[in-house]
Amino acid sequence: MRIVIACGGTGGHLFPGLAVAEALLARRHEVRLLVSEKAVDQAALRSLAVTGGSALSVRALPAVGYTGMKEVWKFGTHLARATRDCAELCREFAPHAVVGMGGFTSAPAVLAARLKRAPVVIHESNAIPGKANYWAGWLASQIAVGLADCARFFRRNHVTVTGTPIRAALRRGKISDARPRLGLDPARLTVLVAGGSQGAHAINEAVACALPWLDDWRDRVQFVHLSGKADEQFMRDSYHTNSVNAVVMEFCNQMELAYSAADIVIARSGAGTLTELAAFGLPSILIPFPHAAEDHQAHNARVFERAGAAHMIRQSQLGGHHAEKGERLGEAIALLLGDETKRRRMSDAARALAVLDAEQRIADLIEQQC
């Protein structure tokens, strides 16, 4: 079968789409990916292109973002042009199904598919759907959701909870020698700080402020901190000043090592991150990105907090002054470091939320539509 997957724009759309593509390629289907023109999409595709061979092809689409009523004419023009391009692709490729993973590449692909009477499957990874997927839900033959909380937004009877796909390397479980490979002490408790591919300055600053509050743990704890490029030296200096052992990296392209080394994670609460935390059964302190569309990161974090897998701190709750920021986060870290039973319960709760075959479940849904 021939399948189109629209999955570009952000890592939260792209990486699940790539995982589904890998599953379909393994089943000997032909896949065409619709991605954005962003550099992050192009870089991530290189590894898949090597394994996909002639069964995989890629097309980049320009951005079709909706920015409000003042830009509605521009948005409509771009959407019409992108939909026309997707319709032309459908004529050439003749897909048996079109899959939308959300975001601006998804909307024109779904519209074109319906115009060509091709079945549509969409996947929403967050607890609350984005605009593109909310409206695409009315046109979809099947709706897959990563979290059960999201099903209520699609008031139709063909919603399936599939989980959110993650990369194969993250589905293989913990790596026993991860700490030595990262240059860490195998005997120390380890805190992973991961603000996203670009880092997160607010989280970096809060952690730096929290370090003095962890003075009692100085000889028993270490950090793996993914800082982003802008704050890399700032965080190195912060750990050095407070005499706390840390491995600070701008970016980590082997997250399986970072997760395997961690006892606790401090992170944003994008759907992809939470899916990975669940896969590794990691207790977490979640600080949702406050400007996420529809505040979806806070909704995601609440799912994990209700399940007992995470503790959520709003960014606004970190405080406006240096000492305030440090105290709240420092206390939260120290509480988890000092309570092994709580960490174990949170780990079990996180693992209970994991779905490690999400890409296969979505591939099954796609095949059922063809």
pLDDT for 50: 45
The predicted-structure confidence for 241-280, as pLDDT tens digits, reads as follows 999 999 999 989 899 999 999 999 999 999 999 999 999 9
Same domain for 153 and 198, yes or no, is no
pTM: 0.90
- Are 76 and 138 members of one domain? yes
313-328: average pLDDT: 79
Instruction: Quick: pLDDT tens for 194-210.
Output: 987 666 899 999 999 99
Same domain, 263 and 316: yes
Mean pLDDT of 41-58: 63
CATH classification at residue 364: 3.40.50.2000
* CB 145, CB 124: distance < 8 Å: yes
Residues 321, 182 share a domain: yes
pLDDT of residue 57: 80
Answer yes or no: do 297 and 148 share one domain.
no
Residues 135 and 219 grouped into a single domain: no
Provide the pLDDT for residue 198: 60
Give residue 105's domain range: 2-164+356-369
Q: Which two tokens stand for residue 82?
A: 């992108």
Residue 310 has pLDDT above 70, yes or no: yes
Q: Quickly state the pLDDT bin for 36 (edges 50, 70, 90).
A: confident
How far is Cα 183 from Cα 186, in angstroms, rounded to an integer? 9
Is residue 131 domain-shared with residue 249, that is, in the same domain?
A: no
Question: What percent of the chain is modeled with pLDDT above 90?
Answer: 68
Instruction: Based on the fold, state whether residues 186 and 316 are members of the same structural domain.
Output: yes
pLDDT band at 11 (very low <50, low <70, confident <90, very high): confident
Tens of pLDDT, residue by residue over 98-108, are 999 998 788 89
* Percentage of the residues of the chain whose pLDDT score is greater than 70: 87
Residues 151 and 190 in one domain: no
Taking residues 74-83, what's their average pLDDT? Answer: 70
Average pLDDT, the chain: 89
- Asked if 154 and 207 sit in the same domain, the reply is no
Helix (H, G, I), strand (E, B) or coil at 62: coil
Q: Is the pLDDT of residue 324 over 70?
A: no
Q: Is the pLDDT of residue 5 over 80?
A: yes
Residues 321-327 have a mean pLDDT of 69
Residue 24 has pLDDT above 60, yes or no: yes
**Number of structural domains, the chain?**
2
Strand partners, 207: none
Same domain, 70 and 194: no
Which two tokens mark 25?
């390629």
Indicate if 258 and 276 belong to the same structural domain.
yes
Report the distance separating Cα 206 and Cα 353, nearest Å.
28
Question: Which pLDDT score, from 0 to 100, does residue 125 have?
Answer: 96
- Phi and psi for 184 in degrees, rounded to 5? -105, 160
The confidence score (pLDDT) of residue 76 equals 61
Backbone angles phi, psi at 290, to 5 degrees: -70, -15
What's the per-residue H, E or C state across 234-262? HHHHHHHHCCCEEEEECCCCCHHHHHHHC
pLDDT band at 289 (very low <50, low <70, confident <90, very high): very high
Does residue 361 carry a pLDDT above 90?
A: yes
CA 15 to chain centre: 8
More confident residue, 71 or 282: 282
Query: Could you say which DSSP state residue 316 is in?
Result: G
Q: With bands split at pLDDT 50, 70 and 90, how would you rate the model's confidence at 8?
A: confident
